[in-house]
Amino acid sequence: MAEGDTVARIAARLDTATAGALIVHSDVRHPRFATVDLAGQRILEWRARGKHLLSRTDAGLTVHSHLRMTGSWSVLRPHKRLPARVLSQLRIALRLDDDRTIVGVALPVLTVLRTRDERTVMGHLGPDLLGADTTGADSIAVAAERVAAAGGQAVVAALLDQRRVAGLGNMWAQELLFLHRVDPWRAADTVAGLEELLTDARRRLRHAVHANPKQNTTGRSTPPHWVYGRARRPCLRCGTPISFRPADLTAHGRETWWCPVCQV
């Protein structure tokens, strides 16, 4: 699933490429929004909110999407067409006044709504680690409070709950817990230093948006991660085999890796 830094990078790329462009033809292939016509509207901006992607127009409309594991957005050059194998997964196409086309493919979530109503699809989100609401310490404190409020729930699950803090995906949550020597199964309300962990998360996500697109957490070419995806391989700190629990054996339904010695 695309994490917050990935979505923010996509938003920045699309904003640079298409903000200010006029939509001359739109094709929305979604049962609920198939009659929506965005032609004649100008794209104001693309923005990310946690893992959600927003495109706003000057008519006061927002195209809202969530990529999850399959979705993608791209800008096709003039007269460029999608391959037949991809065309069947097209969910939205916006042709611009310079003959380029913005395409959203295999989007599991696609909504067109009034910009003033964005809260109906994102109002449940916690503080966004990459958003304007995280410029100061207060929002980090709020996020830490929300994570701790998960009580006896495993801290890894609390960090992945977008209602508590928006933008962290499975890779970042697991790597951060390792870096801060926190057992992922520890009860969320017993974890000390949550504000420090989330401040570090914000710094790493921001760095990833601009300079670390491959989400390398070790600083090495290989392996790029400390625990994520490294089941039974030696811990890079202590040499102990990395523990692993498959998604179907976790209460939060996500694969989990951790070092049983370093994370106590």
Give residue 131's pLDDT band: very low, low, confident or very high (50, 70, 90). confident
> What letter represents residue 204's amino acid?
R
pLDDT(191) > 70: yes
> What letter represents residue 125's amino acid?
L
Q: What is the mean pLDDT of residues 237-243?
A: 98
For the ranges 27-31, 129-133, 209-213, the lowest mean pLDDT is seen at 129-133
Give residue 137's pLDDT band: very low, low, confident or very high (50, 70, 90). low
pLDDT(157) > 90: yes
154: three-class secondary structure by DSSP:
strand
Q: Choose which CATH entry (1.10.8.50, 1.10.150.120, 3.10.180.10, 1.10.3720.10) describes domain 132-258.
A: 1.10.8.50
Tokens representing 199? 């401040």
Cis peptide leading into residue 213 (ω within 30°) = no
Residue pair 237/259 in contact (Cβ under 8 Å)? The answer is yes
Q: Strands of the chain (E only): list them.
A: 23-28, 43-49, 52-57, 61-66, 72-76, 90-96, 101-105, 109-114, 243-245, 256-258
55: three-class secondary structure by DSSP:
strand
Q: Choose which CATH entry (1.10.10.60, 3.40.50.300, 3.50.50.60, 3.20.190.10) describes domain 4-122.
A: 3.20.190.10
Count of residues making up the chain: 264
The model's pTM: 0.92
Which pLDDT score, from 0 to 100, does residue 132 have? 59
Tokens representing 203? 């710094």
Residue 23 backbone dihedrals phi, psi, to 5 degrees: -85, 125
The neighbour count for residue 150, using CB atoms within 10 Å, is: 19
